[in-house]
Amino acid sequence: MEHIAHDETSFVRPAEVGEMELYHPKTWLGKYVFSQDAKTIAIQYAGTAIAIGMVALVLSWLMRLQLAWPNTFAFIDPAYYLQAVTMHGMIMVVYLLTALFLGGFGNYLIPLMVGARDMVFPWLNMISFWVYFTAVLLLAASFFVGGGSTGAGWTLYPPQAILPGTPGSEAGILLMLASLAVFIIGFTMGGLNYVVTILQARTRGMTLMRMPLTVWGIFVATVLALFAFPALFVSAIMMSLDILLGTSFFMPAIMTMGSESEHVGGNPLLFQHLFWFFGHPEVYIVALPAFGIVSDLISVHARKNIFGYRMMVWAIVIIGALSFVVWAHHMYVSGMNPYFGFFFATTTLIIAVPTALKVYNWVLTLWQGNIHLTVPMLFSIAFLLFFINGGMTGLFLGNATVSMPLSDTLFVVAHFHMVMAVAPVMVVCGAIYHWYPKITGRWYHEGPKITGRWYHEGMARFHFWVTFVGSYLVFLPMHYLGIMGVPRRYFEITGTTFLPDSAQSVNASITIAALVVGFAQLVFIYNLVVSAFNGRKAPGNPWNATTLEWQTAHTPPEHGNFGDELPCVYRWAYDYSVPGVEEDFIPQNVPPRDRQAEVTQ
């Protein structure tokens, strides 16, 4: 019996619009600094995000040093500690992960994967990066103003955020709010670009249900952000007015430093609702691109078509929709009506259903696959483990009764990092290793020569194993500390009567593991930089992948991506291990007649 590939067709509709006209720069500044090429802009986004992310990594080291060995480091005082907590959280969530997934991977992969020359608004795309860069500079400037950066916690709750006595309550909090507002303006420019490109610039034959799941994840996450970020934007503006003009959007009548404040009638809970209306979709703004990317990595490196493609697409869409009706499970301790809490506990459990379906589909894709334990696959499997572990602890925190005693403990920190930090970072690392040969045209550095053979991908595998094992050594014991009652955001916990001495010992061990994991990330960055110059030349499709970004005429792709003629798409993105095909895969742009000729030969 002849095998017919999934969704294969020989008919492709004619193009309805002409090709876009590209701007070709004539100077170095036009090509590399103020570039309108989405691929260059993607690298600019990624480089900036990783640079500010390294600042957040150093801040996490300083926090851990204080918790492990209190009062040992004179420059880490309570104010500095709270500032480090605040800036670490905000940088990692917004300025690193959001910018990296949407600005970095979104810009690089969307045009290539949908078969477009570039983003539909290249000039606006360039402006969006420089607005993001300005937001990063504003954020970094808060370290150097009088009073330092804000220490209100990454959620920036008023009235604490702007009252005297809170670190950075003057210039620090204003620069943070201004940076967030500028970031959202820049993202809106880029986000509209992503959505319009996906909907309007797909190549012939690339239907929505033939798009790789990476594109679906970025697309839905972008739509979420376009609806969720305005809530953060208006709350940043309103809090700025409370500070500068004495308005009372969020500030109630309150006594501060022995005197009555000028504010009357504001509602701090309004800010919490606005923040978390953004904040919980933000979890999926990071998670959905990770879901899509890891789906593609697993399929490629297991040499097997993704299990339940349509189910995976609809799960992404349903998760995105439900993410807007679960925000208040972050506010169980705010004094909400119990029936209100019951509603959000229920929606939290409901959103776990499509998420669990995705996990089942990833596992079933791996089942009986021809699994290649490449570095990208190792990071993909690690993502599954961390995401499942973190999701299980989320079931506890989604229940209002259980969540309340755990709310202000390290249990929440451990859960949040497992789901929102470590799991997405595993995908980021796996994706960089996966697409690195396409981006640079080179393999990553292979390491030293041992026993007459090259130790293949030595530094990359070192990076994986230290990150994987070390992250568990950091965050699994943190759950234990949380159940023990160790509070979060405390400068030190020594001398307390309700905690045993073992809590301090566990804190010290966590810090050692965190320092080692941080060192592994330095090795990762070193490997990327050195390999870009010294790595051996990579072929155009080293993983034997089917998607369009691997079918370009040049590696790395030139401006315009696909040479003189755009590809036509004849099938979905997951034709792996196809019977009768010599190389066990069929690229999306190979016509059925060519495949039939290959089988006949």
pLDDT in tens, 442-451: 876 544 433 2
Cβ(573)–Cβ(547) below 8 Å? yes
| Shared domain check, 529 and 464 | yes
In a domain, 436, yes or no: yes
| Shared domain check, 571 and 455 | no
In a domain, 51, yes or no: no
This prediction has a pTM of: 0.92
Most confident of 182-196, 338-352, 498-512, 553-567: 182-196
| Shared domain check, 506 and 569 | no
Q: Enumerate the β-bridge partners of residue 449.
A: 454
429: pLDDT confidence band, cut at 50, 70 and 90?
very high
458: pLDDT confidence band, cut at 50, 70 and 90?
confident
**Cα(442)–Cα(112) distance, integer angstroms:** 18
| Shared domain check, 564 and 530 | no
Q: Enumerate the β-bridge partners of residue 260.
A: 255
| Shared domain check, 519 and 392 | yes
Per-residue model confidence (pLDDT) at position 9: 67
In a domain, 73, yes or no: no
Q: Which of 485, 512, 538 is the last residue of a domain?
A: 538
Quote the mean pLDDT of the chain: 89
In this predicted structure, the answer to whether residue 333 has a pLDDT above a threshold of 60 is yes
Per-residue model confidence (pLDDT) at position 198: 95
**Cα(486)–Cα(505) distance, integer angstroms:** 13
- Per-residue pLDDT of 245-293, as tens digits, reads 989 999 888 877 777 878 788 899 999 999 999 999 999 999 999 999 9
In this predicted structure, the answer to whether residue 493 has a pLDDT above a threshold of 50 is yes
| Shared domain check, 570 and 433 | no
In a domain, 410, yes or no: yes
In a domain, 507, yes or no: yes
Window from 73-87, 324-338, 362-376, 417-431 with minimum mean pLDDT: 324-338
Burial of 74: CB neighbours in 10 Å, binned 0-12, 13-18, 19+: exposed
**Cα(330)–Cα(333) distance, integer angstroms:** 8
Q: In 391-494, at which residue ranges do the beta strands (DSSP E only) sit?
A: 449-450, 453-454
The total domain count for the chain is 2
The percentage of the chain sitting over the pLDDT mark of 70, rounded to a whole number, equals 93
In a domain, 521, yes or no: yes
| Shared domain check, 502 and 383 | yes
| Shared domain check, 600 and 519 | no
Enter the tokens of residue 145. Answer: 């103003």
- Per-residue pLDDT of 207-252, as tens digits, reads 999 999 999 999 999 999 999 999 999 999 999 999 999 899 998 8
Per-residue model confidence (pLDDT) at position 454: 30
The percentage of the chain sitting over the pLDDT mark of 90, rounded to a whole number, equals 64
Per-residue model confidence (pLDDT) at position 595: 52
2: pLDDT confidence band, cut at 50, 70 and 90?
very low
Q: How many CB atoms lie within 10 A of CB 209?
A: 11
Q: Which of 489, 512, 538 is the last residue of a domain?
A: 538
Per-residue model confidence (pLDDT) at position 17: 58
Per-residue model confidence (pLDDT) at position 593: 65
Enter the tokens of residue 266. Answer: 């504001």
Cβ(203)–Cβ(569) below 8 Å? yes
In a domain, 518, yes or no: yes
**Cα(486)–Cα(180) distance, integer angstroms:** 31
**Cα(65)–Cα(70) distance, integer angstroms:** 8
What single letter denotes the amino acid at residue 332?
Y
What φ, ψ does residue 357 adopt, rounded to 5°?
-60, -40
In this predicted structure, the answer to whether residue 322 has a pLDDT above a threshold of 90 is yes
Cβ(553)–Cβ(562) below 8 Å? yes
In a domain, 144, yes or no: no
Per-residue model confidence (pLDDT) at position 279: 93
| Shared domain check, 558 and 534 | no
Residue 488's closest CA among 471, 502, 507? 507
What single letter denotes the amino acid at residue 336?
M
- Per-residue pLDDT of 142-179, as tens digits, reads 999 988 999 999 999 999 999 888 999 889 999 999 99
- Contacts of residue 413, Cβ cutoff 8 Å, sequence gap at least 6: 478, 482, 488
| Shared domain check, 599 and 464 | no
430: pLDDT confidence band, cut at 50, 70 and 90?
very high
**Cα(92)–Cα(421) distance, integer angstroms:** 8
| Shared domain check, 557 and 497 | no
| Shared domain check, 528 and 569 | no
Per-residue model confidence (pLDDT) at position 15: 60
Domain that holds residue 571: 553-601
